[in-house]
Structure 1
Amino acid sequence: MPTFDDISYDVTDGIATITIERPDVYNAFTRNTVLELNEAVRTAEGDDGVYAMVLTGAGDGFCSGADTTEMPDWDEQSPEEYGAFLWLIQQLVWNFRQAATPSIAAVNGPAIGAGCDFALACDLRVVGPAGGMREGFVNIGLVPGDGGAWLLPRLVGESKAREYLLTGRDIDPEDAVDIGLAVERAEDALSAARDLAEEIRDKPATAVQHTNRLVDPEQGFDEYCRTAAKYQWDCVVDAEHQEAVAAFNEGRAPDFDRSYDD
């Protein structure tokens, strides 16, 4: 199990919980935080004993964006140096997006700027009462360089995305559910996210991972059909599929051959 300074990583009952541990600054991130988050996501994705990931923040915040007190003076940096730093953040979004392991953002507090993009990069989102999200880059004269202007239109549609991107308005928890950005508003976002993760965990794992990868709005239908045929065969010969069918026919819950080594 890896150890970190700015985050915690815990695997319990087949679910990896990744928590940003900088509550004094509402979990604003530094370069080191992003490096650790990237490693945590790669670790979870590479672990056959992890069936779902949950991303959250410690204390009262999810992630308030970059910790500006820890950032270099960009006026003294080159475009290449700035691009290299930005790529670290973009890579985290990419790591979540390409992972077969389903990811759920438990948005327990404000998710601002790149912090909002971290939530958008996850496959699903659960929001708490204080779990507002904001693509606030335009408010400070920046663009959503971390992925927000690519992710948000695909989640809520182009017109609604432009509204939030161009005005920098908050997406409050109720609106997040209404527009389909979040699956649920819960008093305890982390607990609800873990419940959702457990529900996903208890399905046949190969089917879950392949289904997660099939959800790709960029692929054409021809490509989808070819990939789906390959994935379906993987599922047909999978022991968990066979157990699930047997359980269905016998009117019982499936009993998959798993042990959760925490």
Structure 2
Amino acid sequence: MSDVEYECEDGYALITLDRPAVYNAFHREMILELNETLRRARDDDEAYAVVLTGAGDGFCSGADVESMPDWSSLSKEEYGAYLWSVQNVVRQLRSMRKPTVAAVNGPAIGAGCDFALACDIRYVGEDAVLREGFVRIGLVPGDGGAWLLPRLIGEAKAREYLLTGKDITPDAAEELGLAAGVSSNPLASAREFAETVRDLPATAVQQTKQLVDPQQDFETHCERAIEYQWNCVNDEEHVEAVRAFSDGREPEYDREYTS
């Protein structure tokens, strides 16, 4: 893979969008690579969390218009198939059982913004910006942004940003609760978060993530909580965590990495 880098060290996966000359704007082949890389992270038994970032001074500036085909020459079905592949990046990030964290080190524009929004946690660089700028070029948010943003910051503020395409600054992102923090080194902050959740019982972490679902009603939530709690009760890492707490020591899980 030439435009998406993958590494798994120390118990978490790091996915880097690697077209720094264009602030990691993507072309069609890169989107296919990114989807494949996310599946690799999903299936990697040595990855207990996933960090997504961009090379150089950008996170992802959306689609690279210079490398895109003439959309008017495509059928609706062909265009829909391409857009589905971009949406599937968001779909995979949201459905990933492992915690995901975006290190937004620079511009996150359009679909790039949506990739960041789809992660569980975001750390934003001091010079970064998030922008749902679709309306500025006569498009609608096609990758999930108009669904994600209202659920993250509320409908009224989301409409303000979606309908104007104006920037969400680092300070605004933190104030709105969109960013876990503004950092001079967002990748370092993201790594620290990944290492924190990595060292916790994996089943509990993953099923806690699944419980955070604002779409479900309370009774469904409680039913799922019973099922997930039962899974945790019968999990070896839960047993070790309780034993370690009683012994006054750090738990020792059967992991490949050394924490």
Q: Which residue of 1 aligns with 2:166?
A: 169
- Which of these residues, 219, 237, 240, is aligned with residue 237 of structure 2? 240
Could you list the per-position Cα deviations for residues 210-261 of structure 1 after superposition, in whole angstroms to 9, with x for gaps in the alignment?
0111111111112111111111011001111111111222222111121129
Whether 2:133 is the aligned partner of 1:136: answer yes
Q: Secondary structure at the match of 1:68?
A: coil
Q: Which residue of 2 aligns with 1:86?
A: 83
Separation (CA, whole Å) in 1 of partners of 2:159 and 2:109: 16
Could you list the per-position Cα deviations for residues 65-104 of structure 1 after superposition, in whole angstroms to 9, with x for gaps in the alignment?
0000111111111111111100000111001111111100
Whether 2:225 is the aligned partner of 1:220: answer no
Separation (CA, whole Å) in 1 of partners of 2:225 and 2:43: 22
- For structure 2, the residue ranges without an aligned partner over 5 or more in a row are none
- In the alignment of these two chains, the number of paired residues is 258
Q: Secondary structure at the match of 1:104?
A: strand
Q: Give 1:129 deviation, angstroms.
A: 1.0
> Which deviates the most, 219-228 or 110-119?
219-228
Could you list the per-position Cα deviations for residues 148-202 of structure 1 after superposition, in whole angstroms to 9, with x for gaps in the alignment?
0000001001011001001111001111011000101110010110001000101
Separation (CA, whole Å) in 1 of partners of 2:43 and 2:221: 25
What letter is aligned with 2:209?
N
Q: Which runs of 4+ in 1 moved over 4 A?
A: none
What letter is aligned with 1:213?
Q
- For structure 1, the residue ranges without an aligned partner over 5 or more in a row are none
- Which of these residues, 202, 205, 210, is aligned with residue 205 of structure 1? 202
Q: Which residue of 2 aligns with 1:65?
A: 62
Whether 2:56 is the aligned partner of 1:44: answer no
Q: Which residue of 2 aligns with 1:8?
A: 5
Please provide the CA RMSD for this pair: 1.0
Whether 2:28 is the aligned partner of 1:31: answer yes
Separation (CA, whole Å) in 1 of partners of 2:71 and 2:100: 33
Q: Give 1:30 deviation, angstroms.
A: 0.6
Q: Secondary structure at the match of 1:59?
A: coil
Separation (CA, whole Å) in 1 of partners of 2:90 and 2:5: 18
Separation (CA, whole Å) in 2 of partners of 1:56 and 1:129: 15
